[in-house]
Structure 1
Amino acid sequence: MINMQVRRELDNIVARTRDGVEWSNAFAALDPAAFPMLSALIPYGDAMFNERQVPLLLAELDRLPDACGGAWVEQAREMCQVVLNESHHYLWFLGD
């Protein structure tokens, strides 16, 4: 399970999701050229997105294959909006 959080620069957690991203082989099969942001997600590591990367991530979420979807997608969109609305905030995906 990959959890999502929004943090400020000094590692202060300002938001977290109810659900996480359930890892599947469908994520590993995403083409890194078509999904460079989501290709950064791995089940055992962390990925961080800044305010300049979040719009790219949102565009990828818009065309995400159904096999990778779920409740996490809408929660990720909400977290992205927090990052875009506040300066010095980052969206973290935290692997197990």
Structure 2
Amino acid sequence: MAIVVTFDLENTPAAQELYDTTIDRVTEGRGFASPADLPVPGLLAHIAGPVGDRWRVTDVWESPESFETFAKILGPLLADLGHGDLQPDVSPPHNLVLR
């Protein structure tokens, strides 16, 4: 069962910088243009950007287990960047349509 994972931060230049730095570290500088660029499989969709006064990152993972595998990489990176307390909202989608 797919899950939706959302991180919300106050929309500041530091939030975008945290996102960019995290992506750079997760992909080891290769860039992120496809789910295949991540070091683990299972990402179905990824959106990041400002939403009102928030900086939001929303992922759709094919299963809780696929996100848990990714979280084992992401968690230590966020902690290293001083954001180890950042926790996502995780929920099942009501409806999911992918191309």
Q: Same fold (TM over 0.5)?
A: no
Q: Hey, which of these two has a bigger chunk of strand by percent?
A: 2
Query: Which one has the largest radius of gyration?
Result: 2
Structure with larger RCO (C-alpha < 8 A, sep 6+): 1
